[in-house]
């Protein structure tokens, strides 16, 4: 068993089996909140899976990120129901509040702001998802309050 790298224990958990690289990535993502380049390289080295294939997997699945995300992810639903009920204004309000653009992470790594397609809660539109919480009936003026609430929980 090799323990030189922080991800080795995760790779060991899956016996360095190339058929389980997605599971390894899930564990790595959970641990670091993203897939560091060194982790991807180490999975390639130990499983024998080509780096190009691993890179494709890491970029293909939305659950994985190659960039470090904030402790909390604020996702603005831009699906049709939310869009027509003002989602673009809500996104703009969060961009102003967090002083970042969609897809970016705050400098203190507290929040990542992103857009998602329909999250299946159209009846609550417009919807914002923070972590596991689905918040319905959001208005732009609620951005400050939501950011404040989750800053404390982070
Ligand atoms: S469009 Fe936003 S939840 Fe369906």
Atom from ligand 1 closest to the CA of residue 80 = 1
DSSP letters of 84-115? HTTHHHHHHHHHHHHTS-TT-B-TTSSEEEEE
148 and 76, same domain (yes or no):
yes
Q: How confident is the model at residue 68 (pLDDT cuts 50, 70, 90)?
A: confident
Whether residue 113 is contained in a domain is answered as yes
Q: What is the predicted pLDDT for the residue at 154?
A: 57
Which residue among 118, 133, 138 is best mutated to probe the pocket of ligand 1, counting the most ligand atoms within 8 A of its Cβ? 118
The alpha carbon dihedral of 27, 32, 37, 39 has a sign of negative
d(CA 79, ligand 1 centre) in Å: 5
Confidence category of residue 4, pLDDT binned at 50, 70, 90:
low
Instruction: Indicate yes or no: pTM above 0.85.
Output: no
Residue 3 in domain: no
Residues 76 and 143 in one domain: yes
The parent domain of residue 46 ranges over: 8-60
In a domain, 53, yes or no: yes
Residues 80 and 49 in one domain: no
pLDDT tens digits for range 17-46: 999 999 999 999 999 889 999 999 999 999
Number of independent structural domains in the chain: 2
Report residues whose beta carbon is within 6 angstroms of any ligand 1 atom: 77, 79-82, 118-122, 125, 127
């Amino acid at each position: 068993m090799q323990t030189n790298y922080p991800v080795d224990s995760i790779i060991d958990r899956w016996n360095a089996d190339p058929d389980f690289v997605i599971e390894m990535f899930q564990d790595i993502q959970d641990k670091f909140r993203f897939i560091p380049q060194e982790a991807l390289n180490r999975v390639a080295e130990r499983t024998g899976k080509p780096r190009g294939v691993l890179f494709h997997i890491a970029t293909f699945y939305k659950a994985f990120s190659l960039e470090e995300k904030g402790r909390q992810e604020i996702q603005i639903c831009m699906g049709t129901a939310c869009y027509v009920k003002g989602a673009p204004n809500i996104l703009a309000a969060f961009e102003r509040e967090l002083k970042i653009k969609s897809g970016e992470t705050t400098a203190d790594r507290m929040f990542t702001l992103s857009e998602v397609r329909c999250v299946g809660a159209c009846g609550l539109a417009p919807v914002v998802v923070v972590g596991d919480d689905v918040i319905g009936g959001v208005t732009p003026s609620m951005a400050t309050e939501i950011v404040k609430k989750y800053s404390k929980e982070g």
